[in-house]
Amino acid sequence: MTNLILFGPPGSGKGTQADKLKEKYDLLHISTGDLFRFNMKNDTPLGQKAKSYISKGELVPDSVTIDMLRSRVEETPDVQGYIFDGFPRNINQSEHLDKILEKRGSSVTGLLMLEVAEEEIVKRILNRGKTSGRADDNDEGIIRNRFKIYQEETTPVFDYYDKQGKSHKIDGQGSIEEVFERLCTVIDSLKK
């Protein structure tokens, strides 16, 4: 199995690249944002738990996020591998992901971090905000804070997998095709 963690700050192009990578490598793209929306919209038990925290303005605990991810992986046993987008966000989630994959006789193949400068991120998200309908895409202060939180939260996860020789930094600036080619070069080297 090929199991990839796609990392990058908000606006780095993870969703765009994940769509292209899932087609090329026949992988299932699992976005935690999509998982949350699906579970809450369909009022699943996990969605109800998530709503109970969100409605109080609290962060959804790791246990709920991990259970959503585990459930999604368990209901898709016949895939060639996964692209994890937005997960793991901390060491606890990383350790649980390793256990979930180990149970399937697999492991994380690589963590791919799209590196994009903060000014480029701000420019991209403000541009996206013209059509996204998301208020947080139109507020530069919020965008810069999201970038800061991303850096603080994800550095330990990058380091966790780097100690295993699995973390890779990819230049996330340039055209969609240029970034895609850089990602494919790294992924192809991991599959050898």
Bond from prior residue into 9 cis (ω within 30 degrees of 0):
no
pLDDT at 121: 92
Range of the domain at 170: 2-190
% of the chain at pLDDT higher than 70: 99
What pLDDT was estimated at residue 129? 84
Percent of the chain, pLDDT > 90?
A: 68
If you write DSSP's letter for every residue of 49-105 in order, what string do you get?
HHHHHHTTTPPPPHHHHHHHHHHHHHT-TT-SEEEEES---SHHHHHHHHHHHHHTT
Answer whether residue 85 shows pLDDT above 90.
yes
State the average pLDDT over residues 132-142: 83
pTM of the model: 0.89
Two tokens, residue 140: 């530069």
> Inter-axis angle of helices 32-41 and 62-74, to 10 degrees?
90
- Number of domain units in the chain: 1
Specify the CATH number for the domain of residue 133: 3.40.50.300
Question: pLDDT confidence of 154, banded at 50, 70, 90?
Answer: confident
Q: Looking at the predicted structure, is the pLDDT value of residue 113 above 90?
A: yes
In three-state secondary structure terms, 15 is helix
Residue-level pLDDT at 149: 86
Tell me, what's the pLDDT at 28? 96
- At residue 10 the predicted structure's pLDDT band, cuts being 50, 70 and 90, is confident
